Structure 1
């Protein structure tokens, strides 16, 4: 007779927690079912929950006589069935456990759980898919939107219904809204990026938008204009604001009175600050009104009334002018998604020894010690508002008369023609014409550093001879000379000049010069210094120097002006 252990397996030492990591809930039946079925099937016990391995009869016939006897296989089957039932009940939550109380076999338990949770999982799938398709960014931050979108995708994966990559890309871009329309259009052009590639691109796009917002500057008065010649007033001589350029497209002289009349000073925002007792720091959406602007390096964010977290890209300091005196605000947070400037009551009372008084008409801020009014605000549409004091602007088109060098520096070092144009058209007044040399312009135009002055000098005549060969001259002399050679003594700085009709005459001239000076001065030429011209590098000339023991020095390549003495003498003779 077959033993019970050989007919029905009984892996009592198996640790279920190593195979099934989930507890069955109303949201993860499909995933839990996959793990449990894999475990039971691996032990060859799947028939217990499918019904194919049914319970044997309670009695069997006795082969020795005509009576019946208890079936030993029933006890083995019951033991294994209770083990499978224990595996299932050990991996379900307390909520699900109440569904199977009183059931005896693993088949009954499995059917009860399937009937209770399989339909719920299908409804959960439809609910999550609909939520994913209808998800919108609206007013929440991009980080929160991506986090919520991924959470919904993970919930679908948890019930065994993963979302295809292309659908995730389309639904995510569709939920961004009209602000990201250009980005979404570019991303949906073939080839469409994967979801993992899309996320960093989206973050980069958001950071660029924030940097453009942070780069906004306060308006300043500028004597600048850019306009094409095609207008209804004709084309006239004009200039632009590029400093050294002088073009025909730019600011028209007949439009200057109109431009000056149109100048005004205005803040990029309304300048209103709303006192807020619930804010722990001053908040603004405009980085242009702050000084000492710097990136925020902390991990904090601003929580608003709907529970959303708003990022803080920058911080800085602000100065508001509710009266003739200013009120300094330190550690102002830049939050682009905030639409109003918020004045933190708690932070201001900590920074200043002051207090607030509110009534139905407005409020005042007073000094805590002197009780002097520091600022006051009104009540508008149910909100307390601190306004900037009106800015009185005095502008005159009459400038102080200064010299041309001052205007040259004020206008960004333009070329003289621009100053002449402005003076001639009476845009500026110059009391005197200063020196045209500008040290800053000279330094900015220099393409290399000057050579250091050399203190080396010969101590005897002819110890070192500098030579330069010049030509051809654009005009022949009356004796048909087109070239000349100069020789400069390093000791005395005395210069000899020899006119030449051809460059090849240099060798005859040098031999004559050498014989003459060595005879007259009773010294021999020791060093000959020249550039690397063709006449100085011919073998005939080099052999002559070697025979006479003369050292030949060359100027460094590309630094012809290093041979200062002969170049200076050449310039003198040319002048």
Structure 2
């Protein structure tokens, strides 16, 4: 009993030596307007395995209706056997068709007629059909596909053209695969084009699979956690005392500069009461409502803090248990900047003329600087 079909014998009361074979194909590919070759390959294999393909290819035609027996014509018993067995094959074939193809074979009286109708509809080398397949082959690209899916789609289209008598040469098939790739596969494309001998379809598949795995590994390794770096500002007013000390190796004296910075008051706002100059750790309203909460304490009166703004790193809990816990983050930063104001609940647009210096050295003006949450 086959994995994709099942069969059993039906007794023949007329001739016990010729039982009928009932074929059931529940797992067969459903025939549609685009997969005729795959369907045909599977059905042929099953019918040949049961010695029934002779009914559909015409090598076992229908017997005559009568035979002569002692100068008298009588009904031909072979016709009854042939008709019943052929109808069993017709039923099995119809069961493998998609619903929208049923009207197409409704006039077929035998399994051969049904087979020929399908072959004439989907395997006849009509000019329009060939043009459609060539255009489909030309449009196949890797976008949204894996390498295996890309090459299978190209091979399937080429096989359909071959069934219509329009074979696609091996070099054209390879060029079609290379044309469907994106720039990340440029190294493989250059390797294939530089070869003195053409590469086989299977060998190209192997090399592209290896390249695909390499790209996936690189993309996984370059995934970095959320990170923030410390920022510094340039003071607008400087009181400098410059002293020159002689250098033992250089021709010119080496200057050393000392900056005298005056501490500046904290200009931020409390995250709870929104009072300028206040901080959450010293907010009486927050302490009254949440007596058990312990917000981080920051000394904003020190000169080092006023001259060196800091940005803290934020990481996401890796475990399911910790990520499901509700939490509120207080980074301790005086201001927060984001390219999407939807990330913050409260925000004020920045309309000043100062620029924001980012890590790659570029400067952005007019960036919205949201209020801290």
TM-score (norm 1): 0.35
Distance 1:173 1:319 in 2: 50
RMSD: 5.1
Aligned to 1:376: 349
Distance 2:181 2:110 in 1: 49
Does the residue aligned with 2:105 lie in a helix, a strand or coil?
coil
Distance 1:203 1:44 in 2: 48
Shift in Å at residue 15 of structure 1? 2.9
More strand, by proportion: 1
Cα pair 1:9 1:80 within 8 Å, conserved:
no
Cα pair 1:125 1:161 within 8 Å, conserved:
no
Aligned to 2:237: none
1:107 corresponds to which of 98, 112, 117: 112
Task: Kindly tell me the number of residue pairs found equivalent between the two proteins.
Answer: 252
- The residue correspondences of 1:266-285 to structure 2 (distance < 5 A) are none
The 3 A distance-change label for structure 1 pair 174 and 71 is: closer
1:71 pairs with 2:76: yes
The 3 A distance-change label for structure 1 pair 219 and 37 is: same
The 3 A distance-change label for structure 1 pair 294 and 67 is: same
Shift in Å at residue 175 of structure 1? 2.8
Does the residue aligned with 2:21 lie in a helix, a strand or coil?
coil
1:202 pairs with 2:175: no
Does the residue aligned with 2:344 lie in a helix, a strand or coil?
helix
Aligned to 1:29: 36
- The residue correspondences of 1:102-501 to structure 2 (distance < 5 A) are 102-118=107-123, 126-132=134-140, 134-135=141-142, 145-147=144-146, 150-155=148-153, 161=159, 171=177, 175-177=181-183, 181=186, 194-208=207-221, 210=223, 237=249, 291-294=312-315, 326-327=335-336, 341-344=339-342, 348-349=344-345, 365=347, 375-376=348-349, 386-388=367-369
Structure 1: runs of 5 or more not aligned = 137-144, 222-235, 239-251, 261-288, 300-316, 330-340, 355-364, 366-374, 379-384, 390-575
Q: Deviations over 1:460-501 (max 9, x none)?
A: xxxxxxxxxxxxxxxxxxxxxxxxxxxxxxxxxxxxxxxxxx
The 3 A distance-change label for structure 1 pair 154 and 40 is: same
1:11 pairs with 2:21: yes
Cα pair 2:188 2:208 within 8 Å, conserved:
no
Larger RCO of the pair (alpha carbons < 8 Å, separation 6+)? 2
Cα pair 1:50 1:107 within 8 Å, conserved:
yes
1:59 corresponds to which of 46, 66, 69: 66
Shift in Å at residue 81 of structure 1? 1.0
Cα pair 2:226 2:313 within 8 Å, conserved:
no
Distance 2:178 2:318 in 1: 29
Aligned to 2:266: none
Cα pair 1:57 1:71 within 8 Å, conserved:
yes
The 3 A distance-change label for structure 1 pair 6 and 319 is: same
The 3 A distance-change label for structure 1 pair 215 and 326 is: closer
Shift in Å at residue 348 of structure 1? 3.0
Does the residue aligned with 1:60 lie in a helix, a strand or coil?
strand
Distance 1:57 1:126 in 2: 46
The 3 A distance-change label for structure 1 pair 254 and 386 is: same
Does the residue aligned with 2:20 lie in a helix, a strand or coil?
coil
Cα pair 2:108 2:114 within 8 Å, conserved:
yes
Does the residue aligned with 1:68 lie in a helix, a strand or coil?
strand
Cα pair 1:61 1:67 within 8 Å, conserved:
yes
Aligned to 2:268: none
Shift in Å at residue 3 of structure 1? 9.2
Distance 1:290 1:105 in 2: 81
The 3 A distance-change label for structure 1 pair 9 and 320 is: farther
Cα pair 2:67 2:76 within 8 Å, conserved:
yes
Distance 1:318 1:130 in 2: 56
